[in-house]
Each structure stands twice: as structure tokens, then as C-alpha cells.
Amino acid sequence: TFVFASDINIWKNSTLNKILERGELRVGLDPGYMPFEMKDKKGRIIGYDVDMASKMAKEMGVKLTIIPTSFDGIIGGLLSEKFDIIISGMTITQQRNLKVNFADPYVVIGQTILVDKDVAKNIKSYKDLDNEKYIISTRTGVTGEIVARKFFKKAKIITFETEADCVSEVLNGKAHAFIYDQPYNVLFMSDKGKDRLVHLDTPLTYEPLGFAIRKGDPDFLNWLNNFMRQIKEDKLLDFHQKLYEKWLVD
């Protein structure tokens, strides 16, 4: 058999090869987005993405290191090689996809809205929120912000650095509504939002979530897509379904 020198170099430079050589998978994530990544009472980072990352490392036969990183700087962190991959509930957007590559999606979500209970009495659809008298909070640099600015031109949009700060603003009466990924809002309603907020739960957007890696790395992308298909389709392994039930269905 004949192997081209350029093919060997592609593999040598592949992030996957580097992970195997160092015996460690480094994952960048922002632990503020339940149920994908969050801190438990002891401060440990847990969630859907963390389980996914553990499974990935196990299949690679390497150890896992989580590198907590603010979402605003997470693509920058990947590009400057602070970690190998972003597994952080990241929506595959066409703009992000110009900078990074995405593996095939693992979940599809959409943006939904949590509204102050009293305000909700006057709201029939999300369109009624687009009024000068309303203040809508969302996180800086996420798809929620993009959607807020696109759908709500008249309302005032305010942004914060964490999901928790955004939604607190509504609980404290300083904002009227919060826009964010549906799974977060569902969990918030089952806990702190109960009796205080109303969930407008029809998704406004179509958002596949995917793992992001640096461009120009076909070997790593190939491994990830085959990994993803296996955990989704392998009924005997039953990994993805169990993960889904553990974190996304109550």
C-alpha cells in the first residue's frame, strides 16, 4: 500500500491524534446552562454534556479534563487551543460555522420565553411583548440575544453575562421577560419559576446543538460523527436515549 506524505501529516496534526498521544481529552464548556452543564451543590460540574464528554473520553481510552470557559470567549479558546472541543449546548449557526466545524447535531432545541406572571395576563402571543414598555433580558453572545434583537425591535433588550443573572432580573421585577433555550426554561419553571413566571413554550427558532472543533481536521470530525451515530442508533448500547431521559425528561 501507498500512503501519501500529506495524509500522514494531516493525521499527525489532527486533534484526535494529539488527544491520543497526550492521553487526555480537553473539553471547553460554560457551566451555566442546565441541564447541559451546571454546578451541583458541591460545585462539581455535571450535566448532559459532561456525561457525553465522559463517554467520548472512555471510547478514546483517555482521561477527561473539563475546562470551564465563559461562552463569550469559548470559540476563541478553541481556536487558541486551550481545549480540543466545545461541548457546551452550542447552537450550530451559519456564522459560527464560518469559524469552526460542527459534528452532526445531538439535540434540537429552540428559543422560548419566560414572562412575569402579571405581565403574561396581557400577552396572547410573544408578539405582544414587542412594545416599548417591556424589558427583555437575555445572555450576551448567545442565540437568545440574536433572537431577542431580531423579534423584539421595540422592546428594550438588556443583557448579562450569565443565564442566572438574566432570569433573576425577571424575578426581581427589573425585566418583564427572559429569552433562552427551551430546556433551561423548562427546568427553571419546574423550580424557581413556578407560580411566578409563565412559559411561552412554543419554540421561536430551530436550533440543532453540536460539538465544535477547529477547522481543517477531517480525522477528528470523522471520529465524532461516527461516535454520534453509534450512541444515537445503537439500541443495545442505549446511551443517548438514557441520557435524554436522565437530563431532559422529568
CA distances from 32 to 29, 134, 164, 182 (A): 9, 25, 7, 14
Contact assessment for residue 48 and residue 243, using Cβ atoms and an 8 Å cutoff:
yes
Q: Which is nearer to ligand ARG, 50 or 129 (CB)?
A: 50
Contact residues for 249 (Cβ-Cβ < 8 A; gap 6+): none
Binding of ligand ARG by 28 (CB under 6 A) = no
Binding of ligand ARG by 50 (CB under 6 A) = no
Give Cα 212 to chain centroid, integer Å: 10
Q: Which is nearer to ligand ARG, 33 or 106 (CB)?
A: 33
Contact assessment for residue 155 and residue 64, using Cβ atoms and an 8 Å cutoff:
no
Question: Which stretch in 7-15, 83-91, 115-123, 129-137 sits in contact with ligand ARG by CB under 6 A?
Answer: 83-91
Binding of ligand ARG by 30 (CB under 6 A) = yes
Candidates 14, 15, 69, 91; binder of ligand ARG (CB under 6 A) is: 91
Binding of ligand ARG by 29 (CB under 6 A) = yes
CA distances from 36 to 118, 132, 154, 215, 216 (A): 30, 34, 32, 24, 27
Candidates 27, 90, 148, 243; binder of ligand ARG (CB under 6 A) is: 90
Task: Give the interface size with ligand ARG as a residue count (CB under 6 A).
Answer: 14
Between residue 169 and residue 228, which ones bind ligand ARG under the rule CB under 6 A?
Answer: 181
Binding of ligand ARG by 37 (CB under 6 A) = yes
Which residues are at the interface with ligand ARG (CB under 6 A)? 29-30, 32-33, 36-37, 71, 88-91, 142-143, 181
